[in-house]
Structure 1
Amino acid sequence: MITVMTELPLELYRAEQVRELDRIAIEECGISALTLMNRAGRAAFDGLRLLWPAANRLAVLCGPGNNGGDGYVVARLAREAGLEPMVLKIAGVREPGGSAAQAREAALAAGVPEAICSPTMLVGQDLLVDGLLGTGLSGEVAGDFRQAIEALNAAPAPAYSLDIPSGLGADTGTVLGAAVKAEATITFIGLKQGLLTGDGPEQCGKLRFDALDVPVSVYASIEPSARRIGAGALIAALKPRSRNAHKGYFGHVLVVGGNRGMAGAARMAAEAAGRVGAGLVSIATRREHAAWISAVYPEAMAHGVEPGPELSPLLERASVIAIGPGLGRDAWGRQMLARVLETRKPLVVDADALNALAAEPVARGRWVLTPHPGEAGRLLNNAAGEVQADRFEAVRNLQQRYGGVVVLKGSGTLVADENSSISLCSAGNPGMASGGMGDLLTGVIAGLLAQGCSLAEAARVGVYLHAMAGDRAAAEAGERGLLATDLIPQLRRLVNP
């Protein structure tokens, strides 16, 4: 989970796009590269003082690029403030050029000592400032840079990364061989998409953003690569209800699932749909489960059915169908899915329904698929590790192959819609890594669809609601031991902003 120190922008960019923003600011707005570097160093130093006010001894690790130049500015400002900074550089690496060289000269002129980095130099420091590698990294980190990163991670002092934790892929959020595990990161000009998904949140720690006073006009010519989902999406989707409304206004969700031993999955999905506001909720499940579900969730209409004639009238009455929670992989589950796929109604597809879809792929427009990385790998005929290596590419490929809207779950959940736009949810926490959370999300999305949200809106708002409910539940009692059902009371509060 990312703890935001200042409000993060909603717009996300790839590294090449941020470099283009930087170029426009320099060439078209007349802001010199050195001015931007000095602003970045000042923003970083101010953040440092805010987070670690007692820090006095600083080791600033500087590479040869602009990232290192930012580090030299931080070191100079620390020296001028009466602290005890030291710059550590990597043996055998070229001296910085351009603006970074000017920043280095200013730091040395201010009396900042400079030395070659070694593990012993990191001992006894209050804070380690990471200015080794920036967003231009393409291959895996190796050699002396990798040794420096590993030494930094092993040192007892906290790490503070400039622009991006060294070794993290700015576009993918993947650790490239080795990456700094920062306690906090400050990033500049444009929010890099890799900071917020995959390995990014774990490596970044607390995240701060500073636009460095770049004019708003600079951003007009660059379309963001993705956007964060914010509270505005929730407010826009959940309009006040008419005073003369009745349950028919708010749709009828049918949850199909709850095979033997998994009745709870269908029940949780159904309750989530009801708690976010669906007017009616039905469950098509195994015969032996229907009575139990009716007892524990009396508001739902639970039906024990077989895939044929008994299911047909339930499908006809529903406005949205959610299939997958506890569906199972036996003949009953496969037949239920086959029958559901014959309908033309909007679907939310999860869990074992996705595994069956991977075995017999089909594409359609009116559905939301909600795979986790393992399921996504099966849908794409590759491994979960390949999905995690570039989550943005994976969710885009899933949407192109299967149609509709795709939700790729995980740290920094991604939503790809029918227009190839990608949204990212930066809320959520590790406590949500427990059984049943995906079933809950399926019900939330289905419940929003039933109330008239579009596929994309239901997916985005559903993901945000689910994550925020998890964060609120964790805030009350902690992350460890968080259960899916702990989110249900929070869901109702969140849909009544």
Structure 2
Amino acid sequence: MTPPSPPRLTRWSPRVGERLEPLDSDWLRAHPLPQPASDADKNGRGRVLVVGGCVTVPGGIRLTAEAALRAGAGKVQVATIASAAMALGVAMPEIAVHAMPEAENGELGACGALLDTLAGRADAVIAGPAVACHDAARRLVGDLLSHDGDAELVLDAGALMVLAEHGAKVARRARPAVLTPHIGEMAALLGEPAEAIEADRPAAVRRAAERFGAVCVLKGATSLVAAPGAEALAYAGGGVGLATGGSGDVMAGIVAGLAARGASPRIAAAWAVWLHGEAGRRCAEQTGPLGFLARELLAHVPGLMRAL
């Protein structure tokens, strides 16, 4: 089989003197993931809480939950709309599922104290996958940030579309959150046109990292990882086949799984970008550059981690 062509470069190119450190196997070996003790139980390997879902995409959050497990987390719990909870639990017996209040439009309702209790038991919380309604996202992000605990926080998809309203709270967190936007979500985060962000993606991802005091991953043909006070990383990804429904849910789940294991936010984000991209490269080699599914990325993640 002919190997897939190298990924096409994005339209920006680094300015003179601008430093973008390659996110490659050498960088990853220099920044290894924490490894659990040989006698660690499932709680010792890290606990992830995944919050999201809606009636129009009831299975999307399953991708995030499985990705966290594939990244090595020992225990994953999902908080999702009540009408989807039972089916999700049956489809994925490895997780625990909590039926949350459901609004009339099939989105998450007010989760309040229940969400606070669940988040308090987690080592990492990921919020936003498959949340399509701005009102639901506002409630969710507001609930999470009003009771900020010790868990690592990963915000994706719907949560990013409303995060600008909570920027000060995110920036005050003791531990930086991880944000995983695509161009449209980055436009919402910064309140800028998508065209302006695309014209200088490194500058945009740095602005977001500084504004929110967070690790920010700007996804694309070349994905960028920025954190306050650190060099930005660049990964010239796994190909156009990754531009498919559910792919971002997978990457965000990998971040959460690695963070729950004890990786710092920047290390978890960088490894997740690489694992996600290399899984896409393997799928392209085995299936073709187009047409593989987001769920087919998942089985490649453990082997990629072992290879390094």
TM range (shorter): 0.7 to 0.9
TM-fit CA distance, 1:240: 5.0
Matched AA of 1:319 = D
Q: In the alignment, which residue of structure 1 is the partner of 2:81? A: 286
Which structure would you say has the larger Rg?
1
Please give the per-residue CA displacement for 1:385-416, whole angstroms capped at 9, x wherever unaligned.
11110001111111111111000111110000
Q: In structure 1, what is the Cα distance between the partners aligned to 2:134 and 2:191?
A: 21
Q: Aligned ranges for residues 19-418 of structure 1 at < 5 Å? A: 174=11, 193=14, 225-235=19-29, 236-238=31-33, 241-306=36-101, 307-329=111-133, 331-342=135-146, 343-344=148-149, 345-362=151-168, 363-364=170-171, 365=173, 366-418=176-228
Residue 37 of structure 1: aligned partner? none
Pairwise CA distance, 1:359: 4.4
Change (3 A) 1:357 1:368: same
Per-residue CA deviations over 1:367-399 (Å, capped at 9, x if unaligned) read 001110111112111111111100011111111
Equivalent residue number for residue 3 of structure 1: 6
Q: Deviations for 1:218-238, whole angstroms, at most 9, x for unmatched residues?
A: xxxx98712111113444423
Could you tell me which residue of structure 2 aligns to residue 198 of structure 1?
Answer: none
User: CA separation in 1, counterparts of 2:243 and 2:40?
Assistant: 37
What is the letter of the counterpart of residue 267 of structure 1? R
Change (3 A) 1:329 1:394: same
Mapped to 2, the partners of 1:420 and 1:335 lie a distance apart of 32
Between the two proteins, what is the percent identity of the paired residues? Answer: 35
1:259 maps to amino acid: C
The answer (yes or no) to whether the contact 2:49–2:122 under 8 Å persists in 1 is yes
2:305 is aligned with 1:495: yes
Deviations 1:81-116 (A, max 9, x none): xxxxxxxxxxxxxxxxxxxxxxxxxxxxxxxxxxxx
TM-superposition CA deviations, 1:311-332 (whole Å, max 9, x none): 2221111111001101232544
Residue 108 (structure 2) aligns with: none
Contact kept in structure 1, 2:33 and 2:263, CA below 8 Å: no
Please say if residues 78 and 96 of structure 2, whose CA atoms lie closer than 8 Å, have aligned partners that are also in contact. yes
5+ unaligned residues in a row in structure 1: which ranges? Answer: 5-167, 176-191, 195-221
Q: Cα deviations across residues 347-375 of structure 1 (Å, max 9, x unaligned)?
A: 11111100011345333242001110111
List alignment gaps of at least 5 residues for structure 2: 102-110
* CA deviations over 1:453-476 (Å, ceiling 9, x no partner): 001101111100100011001110
SS of 1:377's partner is helix
Conserved 8 A contact 1:395-1:414: yes
Within 2, Cα distance between the matches of 1:225 and 1:331?
A: 39
1:256 and 1:327 in contact (8 A); partners too: no
1:371 is paired with a residue whose SS is: coil
1:325 touches 1:350 (CA, 8 Å); kept in 2? Answer: yes
Which of 437, 448, 469 aligns to 2:258? It is: 448
Number of residue pairs matched by the alignment: 287
- 1:239, distance to aligned residue in structure 2 (A): 5.2
> Deviation at 1:249?
1.7
Distance 1:391 1:224 in 2: 12
Higher relative contact order structure (alpha carbons within 8 Å, sequence separation ≥ 6): 2
Amino acid at match of 1:245: A
- What do residues 184-238 of structure 1 show as CA deviations (whole Å, max 9, x unaligned)? xxxxxxxx748xxxxxxxxxxxxxxxxxxxxxxxxxxx98712111113444423
SS across alignment from 1:394: helix
